[in-house]
Every structure is written in structure tokens, then in C-alpha cells.
Amino acid sequence: MPSSDYLDHLTQIRLFSSCNSKELAKIAKASDELSLASGKVLMTQGQPGREAFVIVDGRATVKVGDVEVAELGPGDHVGELALLDGGTRTATVTAATDMTVLVISQRSFFGLIDEVPGLARKIMASLAGMVRELDSQLAPHA
């Protein structure tokens, strides 16, 4: 049974922001909890992505090339676009401390989309919002 903490973390993922609590519970149920030791690499820049991670506990560092660009903590997430396209990772993410994460695989995610078709519409709407936001940042309209 997914904990309410997991649902709170999932609501922070923009891709899932328009999902209701029942849909979030299904996403949480499709996720696996994973404990990682400090120093463990979650994802490597340039490698294909097949899962997304939500940090439940602990901290991680994000590097692009050799430059640290961010530090992540509980509620933060990485890799959610890999659920959609399996594209290559844009950064390397490493556990800075011992961590607990929720992992959702692309296969589980697609199974969930098949099971709950309305979820796909909500995710597409979230993506459209992200694209519109990027578009306005790149080419501000008068």
C-alpha cells in the first residue's frame, strides 16, 4: 500500500501534477522503493534512460560533464522524461548520502497508461504546459 509520503512526493513531479489521488496511488503502486548507498550512481549522462526516480530520503548531486549543477533532496525527482521517450540522460546523478528513492520503470509506466487511459490525457496536458513555458522563455511574445 503506497504511503501518503509517496503520494506527496509524486505530486511534486510536474508530469503528474494534474493527477488525482487515485491516479497517484496507482503510480506509487507501480513504483519500487530502492535503498542506495552514498556514492551510488543513479544515472549517467549520455546513457539511455528507462526509469524515473523520486527522492524520498537523502541527497544526490547532479553533474553535467564535470560541473555540479544541482543538489537534490526529498521530494525532488529526475529522469521523468525517460518514461516517455527512453532518451539519453542529460546529466549524471549520484547519491551524496545514503538514499531511499521511488523508481518507476518505463515498462510499468506504459502499463499504467494502458490501464488508466485518462492518465495519458493528463500527462499530455502537463507536457503541453511545459512546452508552452519553454516556448515563452525562448521567444517572449509582445
- What is the residue extent of each domain of the chain? 4-131
Give the alpha-carbon dihedral of 107, 41, 57, 73, to 10 degrees. -100
Whether the pLDDT of residue 4 is over 80: the answer is no
Whether the pLDDT of residue 30 is over 60: the answer is yes
* Other beta carbons within 10 Å of 137: 8
CATH code linked to domain 4-131: 2.60.120.10
Whether the pLDDT of residue 12 is over 80: the answer is no
108-141 residue pLDDT tens: 988 988 888 788 888 888 778 877 887 887 876 6
Global pTM value: 0.77
Strands (E), 9-49: 32-36, 41-43
Whether the pLDDT of residue 60 is over 70: the answer is yes
Mean pLDDT of all residues in 49-69 = 93
